[in-house]
Amino acid sequence: MSEQSSRPFTIAVLISGSGSNLQALLDDQTGYTVGLVLADRAGAYGLQRALAAQVPTVCLPLRRPKDRDTRLAWERQVAAAIDIFDPDLIVMAGWMRVMSADFIERYARRIINQHPALLPDDSGATYRLASGGTIPAIRGAHAVRDALRLGVAVSGCTVHWVTPEVDVGRGLARAEVPVLPTDDETALHERIKREERRLIVEVVRQLAAEHQQGKTEN
């Protein structure tokens, strides 16, 4: 976390798309400030949301994502942009890029991510529901689609710390969402998104409060 003590808890939000979770964070800003919005796609509508809120924006499209040297150079640009603003926390809110271990370790314990499925606190293959039952831990970019394919009765979302291993960081908050017989991918995802917006605000508020308490105690 940043050692600066004269400013509010500041977050950088990384987005790839519409930015509905970003909007929830912009609308709240209780105990924290959105200091930067960074997108990897020029057409990401979340950039317009940030501009409307007068938040600094950076757009860094990744061209030739399969080329290792290009990708590493792009990651250095992303890191340079983040470092200018020196956020206390980086929030991956609909960010569709998997970052390298070097990038993650550069910001160790400063990056959180949203995932549209229920994840355990480790690399385990299952998640235990509040009811006591278990479901598969659904990782990867198509978690909502996979939940329907697997026929689970309950899905949901997780906010977790980001680690070099994808989707295995310790969970900070979760919400269960029932899967309805009539659900298609869009309908289920929309209900999950409602919970995601609530959770991400709660988690950022909590981390900001803990950060402020730590400064007070020191």
Q: Which residues touch 142 (CB under 8 Å, ≥6 apart)?
A: none
Give 86's DSSP letter: -
Of residues 176, 174, 181, the one with CA closest to residue 154: 176
Q: Quick check: 3 pLDDT over 60?
A: no
Q: Rg of the chain over CA atoms, in angstroms?
A: 17
pTM for this model (two decimals): 0.93
| pLDDT for res 57 | 98
- Looking at 3.20.20.450, 3.40.50.170, 3.40.50.300, 3.30.465.10, the CATH number of the domain 9-217 comes to 3.40.50.170
Q: Where are the domains of the chain?
A: 9-217
3-state secondary structure 95-149: CCCCCCHHHHHHCCCCEEEEECCCCCCCCCCEEECCCCCEEECCCCCCHHHHHHH
Q: Quick check: 218 pLDDT over 70?
A: no
Residues acting as catalytic residues: 115
Of residues 175, 191, 28, 167, the one with CA closest to residue 92: 167
Dihedrals phi, psi of 188, to nearest 5 degrees = -65, -45
Q: Quick check: 76 pLDDT over 90?
A: yes
| Percent of residues, the chain, with pLDDT higher than 90 | 93
Give 183's DSSP letter: -
Of residues 84, 42, 85, the one with CA closest to residue 62: 42
Give dist(CA 156, CA 22) in Å, integer.
19
Give me the helices (H) in the chain, please: 20-28, 46-52, 68-85, 101-106, 143-150, 185-217
Dihedrals phi, psi of 202, to nearest 5 degrees = -60, -45
150-204 confidence digits (pLDDT tens): 999 999 999 999 999 999 999 999 999 999 999 999 999 999 999 999 999 999 9
| Percent of residues, the chain, with pLDDT higher than 70 | 96
Cα distances from 104 to residues 15, 54, 169, 179, 217, in angstroms, run 16, 28, 11, 33, 28
